[in-house]
Amino acid sequence: MTSLLEKPHGAAPDEPGRRSAFRFETITRLPRGDGGKGRNGARYGRTGIIHTPHGDIRTPAFVPVATQSAMKAVLPEAMKDLGAQCLLSNAFHLFERPGPDVLDEAGGLGRFMNWDRPTFTDSGGFQVLSLGAGFKKTLAMDVTGMKSDDVIAEGKERHAFVDEDGVTFKSPLNGARHRFSAEISMGIQHHIGADIMFAFDELTTLMNTRRYQENSVERTYRWAQRCVVEHKRLTESRTGKPYQALYGVVQGANYEDLRRHAARQIASLDFDGVGIGGAIEKRIIGNTCAWICDEMPQDRPRHVLGIAAVDDIFACVENGGDTFDCVAPARCGRNGAIFTRDGRYNVKRAEFKHDFAPLEEGCTCYTCTHYSRAYVDHLLRARELNGFTLATIHNEHFFVTLLDDIRASIDEGDFDGFRDRTLTRFYAHGSRG
């Protein structure tokens, strides 16, 4: 088997039509409106279809995160039943275990985990932040007046070190040193075999200085150029494999000029789609999507990385987001936080110990049609894994269905009304999702 770093000589040309297995089709566009954040009041929201070798993704869509080729405590069959169209796994974690060669030998990520629908992998760029500054899932922040390039989360130490060529990681599993670069990330993701993958990028925090953000955007662009070259080489050399789409990632924190500049850079390269990444202040999350869409070709699908607050999803859809991923529904569920149309609540509160109603009245998910709040409360308190399963099924169903309903509202011409009704109801009691 070819090494991830070895460049074979005399690679065979790409198979005719192979790339055409991936394309984006727009169905319905949002009309211009008062809420448009794009240039000249443009609203970039739309419905569409992402065609992949393993099936179609109807957008807007929520992409549940199966970090290590698995949803924690939930089988792929259950994810299908709750309506998930696709899943996203983490390239860095799969690199550590079981290793990309194992997934390649198994026939790719989907076949390895018995999932016959589309799959995504991120590039390992997220670990630049989570192992570097140590903030893990904290991306949308308000850090007014706090600027430092040496910031480290409380109680953490730096385990990722960035240089021009790539990043050196200290493994959170065993302390071993690992090296990621544009070429290595592409090699790993090609062996993992997802339908959609992302270019290797540097994820910064909102606390980094303006100067650092500028340097990081340029570094991410240079890495993106290398990713495109290596992706083409690997695509041509790995004949017989389904085509894997490559998305470039736009960084730039909360600076409009940097976001627009980075978007133009990514638009200039031969990417199949774009990832809207990085730390984004909640107050301008819709604006940030619109700035990027202003500068991007409209025929490329747009993925918003790591977003799952209900109001943020509406803001991003209205301003151009097509697909969304986040670990929050599953992670919150394992801790007892349940998402409903009437807001978020913690099922482990004492009042639910004798409550034999479903987690959410009217919900059609497997959990709500079979089990009660009292039972899920008991399982979570007892740390029984079935509790993780039932809470996760409900929360993932909530977000998958929310995006399905948003998609229907755009097609039916009722996006603004549906948004206002949904947010009014969800936040009526001060919930924050």
User: Is 414 part of the annotated catalytic residue set?
Assistant: no
Residue 154 burial class via C-beta count within 10 angstroms: exposed 0-12, middle 13-18, buried 19 and up: exposed
In 10 A of CB 264, how many CB atoms?
A: 15
| Nearest Cα residue to 175 out of 96, 94, 101, 67 | 96
User: Is 195 part of the annotated catalytic residue set?
Assistant: no
- With a CB cutoff of 8 Å and minimum separation 6, the contacts of 249 are 123, 125, 198, 199, 201, 220, 224, 266, 274, 275, 276, 277, 305
In 10 A of CB 420, how many CB atoms?
A: 11
| Nearest Cα residue to 171 out of 203, 127, 141, 204 | 127
Catalytic site residue from 195, 201, 325, 377: 325
Runs of H (alpha helix) within 154-284: 182-192, 210-237, 256-267
In Å, what is the CA distance from 125 to each residue of 313, 331, 422? 22, 21, 33
CA atoms within 13 A on the CB side of 265: 21
Catalytic site residue from 122, 195, 201, 322: 122
Which residues are known catalytic residues? 122, 325
